[in-house]
Structure 1
Amino acid sequence: MTTTTTDENPSLLRRLAHRWPTLAALPLIAASLYNIDDVRGLAFLLVLSPLGYLVPAAYNRPGITWPAVLIGSVAIAPFKILDLNPSYALLVASAVFVAIGVARRAPGFGVQVVAAVLFAVAAVIAIEAGSLTLGGAFVALGLLAHAAWDLYHHRHNRVVPRSYAEWCGVVDLVLGVVAIVLIF
């Protein structure tokens, strides 16, 4: 007598539940694109996304990623509501977590710092660029580069939970492609 399990042919609901990070990315993507007239307004993601890696890396605790993302999202909400770019406030938060990670001598933390600095530089160039096209290109390329960063961390299961790497990767990839479409 042979029995089949539901794992051999998972239901649509089961497959969707397994991809919850991708589904959870959709509201952020929609909110980020709502009423967007300048893709440089997405530059804050080039600071926020790496901050999602800096915080758990500073403490060497991947489990604090989602609480940190929730706190960060709540913290930037007033900036977004007031139509202000939260990038510079996020840079200050990043500096605080860099100091914490250095003080704690977190293993492997240096790579996260270098990446956060590079993404932050791209964000500042994008914000300060006089040209919509040039600034938008920095945003788009930065988001696509961070999507690759997310993919690496997802595949190697490092620094952050895979669920965060998937969620962040979907946000970065979709918004990076949309940014390219909008600037050209």
Structure 2
Amino acid sequence: MFKRFSINYMVLLFLIDSVMVQMGLAWAIHLRFIIPFGQEVRPEYIPHWMYVPNLSMYISVGLLWAALFLFFSCYTPRRIIFWIDEFQRIVMAHTVAALSLAGLLYLANIPLLRLIFVYFYTLTLVMLLGYRIVLRVWHRLQSNGNTSIARILVVGAGPIGQEIVSEFKRQQWPGIEFVGFVDTA
């Protein structure tokens, strides 16, 4: 089981993000022929009218997204504690990566269809945010009461230590359990 924000969990997020980006690119190409927007492009005209992404394109996209997601700290646990921070980082990194890809395609003179690019951006963003929402909900449902209890060992069994414990018990603070006292006497 992965603990949230552990190294293994962050590596898992990195791998899932990489797979989602690659799937988004492949599905965007297929969606261009399924969704009836824009000029009709028949599959038999593909080699003549448009660029068909090959292995180098998928590697470039994977490296670009990985580098920018790392640059924008999408895998730094202390920066993605709250869902709004995590989603802002993902949207920002994904947008910068998509704009960088557009620049790379322009400089390399690769004629990728604009609707494929729009489908890729939208579909990948929805997939990246969607699975992170599912993970956050799953972690919230999996949390049990024992992980949120702070067990406190009071140093000093004298009157001050006893007074502190009685005051906490009187206030009935949730999530605090006194284990005992440590004293030299």
Question: TM-score, normalising length from structure 1?
Answer: 0.29
Higher relative contact order, structure no. (Cα contacts within 8 Å, ≥ 6 residues apart): 1
Richer in helix (by share): 1
Richer in strand (by share): 2
Question: TM-score, normalising length from structure 2?
Answer: 0.29
